[in-house]
């Protein structure tokens, strides 16, 4: 169904691209997840629910872009990749919950939330910080962006079991293709991103329009 939707140009429903979770005892990234654990501190970004209800998709994207960019640059992750991933996972709906229980902007599963110390996956900033830190951690195991996305969707163990390639899971293949295609679209909507120099905050970047 996911492949058919993609071929017809139809949006995928939240949770469509999530295969069943792998057993965490065999997860090759599990030994490093303690480094990803979130600090329990007040969050600076907490828009009212009225800011999201019935808002056009582009407005939700504009609202989240500064935060996505800040956290992504802090973690050494491409913010355009994160924007594309959020688009595929939740269409920028912070209260999205899939049938399998994946929650929030980056559709983090209950098991991953537990490992990351994410106690409120429906909080926009908390969800982004956890998801982006998890992406950064996956990149230390899988240097290739395609494999990072595959591991995010199917689980690191499945990627390693497949021999370091995208697993033969239709949902995962669709997920990788769609995120990478959307990343290119987002790149066309943003000005060139100024990389942050050591010890300096990057200049503001034009939001998508």
Given 39, 53, 75, 89, which residue is catalytic? 89
Are residues 158 and 22 in contact, defined by beta-carbon separation less than 8 angstroms? Answer: yes
In our burial notation (b when 16+ CB lie closer than 10 A, e otherwise), range 108-132 reads bbebbbebbebeebebbbbbbbbbb
Give the relative orientation of helices 145-154 and 124-141 as an angle to the nearest 10 degrees.
Answer: 120
Tokens encoding 67: 């935060």
* 75 catalytic residue (yes or no): no
- DSSP 3-state of 154: helix
**What is the distance between the alpha carbons of residues 140 and 36, in angstroms, rounded to a whole number?**
12
**DSSP count for the chain of H helices, then E strands:** 8, 0
Could you tell me which of 120, 96, 111 has the C-alpha nearest to residue 38? 120
Are residues 19 and 172 in contact, defined by beta-carbon separation less than 8 angstroms? Answer: yes
Q: Which residues are catalytic?
A: 89
């Amino acid at each position: 169904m996911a492949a058919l939707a993609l071929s017809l140009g139809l949006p995928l429903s939240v949770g469509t691209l999530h295969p069943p979770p792998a057993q965490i005892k065999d997860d090759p990234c599990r030994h490093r997840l303690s480094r990803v654990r979130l600090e329990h501190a007040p969050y600076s970004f907490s828009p009212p629910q009225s800011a999201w209800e019935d808002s056009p998709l582009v407005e939700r994207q504009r609202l989240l872009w500064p935060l996505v960019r800040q956290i992504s640059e802090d973690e050494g992750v491409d913010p355009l990749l994160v924007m594309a991933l959020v688009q595929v996972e939740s269409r920028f709906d912070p209260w999205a919950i899939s049938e399998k229980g994946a929650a929030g902007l980056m559709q983090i599963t209950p098991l991953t939330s537990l490992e990351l110390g994410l106690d409120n996956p429906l909080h926009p900033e908390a969800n982004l910080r956890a998801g982006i830190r998890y992406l950064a951690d996956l990149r230390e195991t899988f240097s290739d962006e395609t494999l990072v996305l595959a591991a995010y969707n199917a689980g690191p163990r499945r990627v390693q079991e497949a021999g370091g390639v995208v697993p033969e899971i239709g949902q995962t293949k669709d997920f990788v293709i769609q995120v990478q295609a959307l990343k290119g679209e987002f790149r066309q909507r943003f000005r060139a991103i100024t990389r942050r120099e050591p010890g300096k905050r990057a200049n503001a970047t034009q939001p998508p329009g």
